[in-house]
Amino acid sequence: MQIAVVVAQIVIALGIANVWLLRSQKASAYRGGNAKDMLAEFAAYGLPAWVMRAVGATKLTLATALVVGIWVPMLVRPAAIGMAFLMFCAIAMHVKVSDAPQKSLPAFCMLALSVFVAVS
């Protein structure tokens, strides 16, 4: 079970890094509304740019804590709970703008992984 938890921590961290560091300025089938990049996605949700930056910084911090948590276990549960909360909020934003359910799939997967890590 411990190996599965560590793998989940790494998958979450890599997924967050991919979205926020490598793909934030690129189009994706999972972006909210008709957004072509992260800034437009947050605008589609009715959120200002500073919220996007705060969410990104928080997600990257939590992702880093999940990786560091492999060696410092006390970081894992709070980081996983924080990530689960943010992923729940991401799903809520997709619902807010009436996105098709499949647009929420990555956030749902990250939510499920975060809950798994938090309760393990």
Residue 24 in contact with residue 36, Cβ under 8 Å? no
Does 30 map to a domain?
no
Which range of residues forms the domain containing residue 62? 2-25+35-119
10: its two tokens: 């790494």
82: its two tokens: 């924080």
Instruction: Give mean pLDDT, residues 56-85.
Output: 98
pLDDT at position 1 over 80: no
Does 67 map to a domain?
yes
Tell me what the pLDDT averaged over the chain comes to. Answer: 97
Distance CA 8, CA 3 (A): 9
Residue 24 in contact with residue 38, Cβ under 8 Å? yes
Distance CA 77, CA 5 (A): 11
**Total of domains in the chain:** 1
Please state the pTM of the whole predicted model. 0.95
Does 52 map to a domain?
yes
Does 106 map to a domain?
yes
106: its two tokens: 């990555």
Does 89 map to a domain?
yes
pLDDT tens digits for 18-70? 999 999 999 999 999 999 999 999 999 999 999 999 999 999 999 999 999 99
Does 114 map to a domain?
yes
